[in-house]
Amino acid sequence: MAELARAEISGDGARRGSLVDEAYAALKQAIRDTVFAPGYQGSEQEIAVRLGMSRTPVHEAIIRLQEDGLVRVLPKRGVLICPLAPQDIREIYEVVIAVESMAAELLAALPDSDRAAVADELEAATAAMERALAADDLAGWAEADEAFHRLLVERCGNGRLRRIAQTVTDQAHRARMLTLKLRARPAGSAQAHRLIGEAVRAGDAEAAHRLARAHRVAARDELVPLIEHIGLRQL
């Protein structure tokens, strides 16, 4: 009987954890896609209703998202979707530059077989970017571009880098999507990605680091001035 009770408790815990994970993923995606716009303020109940979920897992998801820097819980006033100022975007890109250049260096130092597998994945994401751009599918291009950068950190073998990158890229996603149609056609990104992938495949850690850094520095130097130029105070 005691073992059965423990199994039931364990089962309940697993179901609860699954619901929290679902609420976390759903709310984070809604924030990334600006379903809940920057500066939105509402109660946990309002958010739960809009997501079609119960309040308890949404409450726990909000706590996790506050740790990620995407929301802020305001005592007795609900939940605020954190807006980002141009200076926030600059700081986020400074973190991304450091994390991704180190991740690329670590990838290039992997054993030959692991390195080749990652390079193949990076090449596939790059090819998907090129196909989307040729079809004038900017949303598809952005999805493939994000996949490339996610691979860099997810495959590098450093879990701390991966967690840091996840937080800041979630914060920067809104800025990238908002300005996607305002920026110059991203024709050079695929070539920059291909060079990074080639350095990884060749095991050239120094080149991988340098190329990944240069690519993200160029993105920062294009995006932040654009945001400032069009007068966005928060996004």
Sequence ranges of the domains in the chain: 2-81, 86-229
* pLDDT value for 200: 98
**For 4-20, what is each residue's pLDDT tens digit?**
444 444 455 555 568 89
83 close to 235: Cβ distance less than 8 angstroms: yes
By three-state DSSP, how is residue 203 classified?
Answer: coil
Tell me what the mean pLDDT of segment 197-225 comes to: 94
Higher pLDDT, 170 or 222: 222
pLDDT band at 231 (very low <50, low <70, confident <90, very high): low
Domain 2-81 coded CATH 1.10.10.10: yes
* pLDDT value for 12: 55
Tell me what the mean pLDDT of segment 197-218 comes to: 97
Dig out the tokens for 109 from the structure.
């130092």
* pLDDT value for 147: 94
pLDDT band at 232 (very low <50, low <70, confident <90, very high): low
CATH fold for domain 86-229: Four Helix Bundle (Hemerythrin (Met), subunit A) (1.20.120)
* pLDDT value for 15: 58
* pLDDT value for 84: 77
CA dist 227 and 222 (Å) reads 9
In one-letter notation, the amino acid at residue 80 is: L
* pLDDT value for 7: 42
* pLDDT value for 16: 56
Nearest to 29 by CA among 130, 177, 180: 177
